Amino acid sequence: MKEFETYILPNGIKGIHRRTKSSIAHCALVINAGTRDERDGEYGLAHFAEHAFFKGTEHRKAYQVNCRLENRGGELNAYTTKEDTTIHATTLRSDFAKAAELIADVAFHSTFPEHELQREREVIIDEINTYKDSPVDMIFDTFEDMIFEGSELGHNILGTKASLARHNSESIKRFIIRTHTTDQMVFSTIGNFSLSKVKSVAEQYFGQHVATKREFSRSKPAMVEPFERVVSKHTHQTHCIIGARAYDIHAERRLPLSLLINILGGPSANSRLNVVLREKNGLSYNTEATYTPYNDSGMVAIYFSSDHHNADHCRELIDAELRSLRSTPLTARRLAMIKRQFLAQMAISMENNEGYMLGAGKSYLVHDEIDTLEEVYRKVTAVKAEQIMEVAEEIFAKTSTLIYQ
């Protein structure tokens, strides 16, 4: 039996399912619509709409939405990114149909009552204020805004207090009609059910909705010149991001870059930046490297925080690591270890069925297929040291820097 089974409903909504022996079920509606699909004057609207889904439907009041699964020990949640919006639920196996029905209800029948929206604006304003109090979160968003300046990717997810004040029930409905079309949706599930059972539930609650099709396309962001900017934030530490544009989510070089970023500043304590900045020199408690691929672009970012007087030394050490990766191929022994580490991290992450379900839904939405662990193993095994070095040279030859101090 295949690890994942797929189907398509008559209205264009795609489905993907993985059967397990667990007594817990996970399901999600993944929608290919995020903040990059906002027009001028709509900033923050995708995220506001996600919050508003929980504020009442044609069949339920807000408290009934919130209690439907929670009273049974389950949960309903949602999140927004720059390219997608996801509504997801976790329940006991016996409550799977109830979870699917509730997701369909909030996705297709929300009413967005104005009195509820006013309260939710205050919640999001508090979220914005919390974010402003966290330089670690804020510097990442600001750097991404700068690296994609002038494009739809170049504004943060939360929006601003001023933009939130303009959004109302009608603007949310217009945004959803334009962006939340059935040809851009995937219903992703993991649980102890047959495909026929899952498809039957999906047809009952999602298949009844009229087919709709996206009528706009996204614009690829133009390149920006490398920059270095220092912003006075009067923080106790210096916070720094060094990064650049990177490959999109379809690029063949995405895998060598993912390996490179994992080597450089992945979650393991033996990442090169953690070793050189923390273990050997005691300069930084927090350091990491990330790669964020989008549909038509991407971004890599190296972050560290340190005492003000150590920041320049940290940057020198990071530059030295980047020069080494750009000019010196990894040894066969080191490359084998890195591949083994990467594959083990992936296999362990798959033990989290909720995360696996969400990732599978996103992958099926973007690629129309899912790589099995065996296929990923084959692709990772085929990566050569020279490819990683070439990617390092291409991505890190010219970088941009943002500093909070």
**270: CATH:** 3.30.830.10
Full domain range(s) for residue 289: 228-404
CA angle 168, 173, 179 (to 5 degrees): 125
Could you read off the pLDDT of 25-72 as tens digits, one per residue?
999 999 999 999 999 999 999 999 999 999 999 999 999 999 999 999
Whether 49 and 185 share a structural domain: yes
Domain final residue, candidates 148, 174, 205: 205
Could you read off the pLDDT of 262-304 as tens digits, one per residue?
999 999 999 999 999 999 999 999 999 999 999 999 999 999 9
Q: What is the pLDDT of residue 366?
A: 95
In a domain, 368, yes or no: yes
Whether 176 and 242 share a structural domain: no
Residues 301 and 145: beta-carbon distance below 8 Å: no
Tokens 């509820």 belong to which residue? 116
Tell me: pLDDT of 1 over 60: no
Structure tokens that stand for 118 in this block: 């006013």
Q: What is the pLDDT of residue 3?
A: 86
Mean pLDDT of the chain: 96
In a domain, 218, yes or no: no
Q: Which residues sit opposite 17 in a β-bridge?
A: 5, 189
Residues 56 and 322: beta-carbon distance below 8 Å: no
Whether 118 and 194 share a structural domain: yes
Q: What is the pLDDT of residue 164?
A: 93
Structure tokens that stand for 54 in this block: 């929980």
Whether 260 and 115 share a structural domain: no
**Number of structural domains, the chain?**
2
In a domain, 217, yes or no: no
Q: Which residues sit opposite 289 in a β-bridge?
A: 302
In a domain, 388, yes or no: yes
Structure tokens that stand for 2 in this block: 């295949």
Whether 186 and 280 share a structural domain: no
In a domain, 121, yes or no: yes
| Alpha helices (H) along 180-304 | 195-205, 254-265, 272-273
In a domain, 219, yes or no: no
Domain final residue, candidates 205, 237, 258: 205
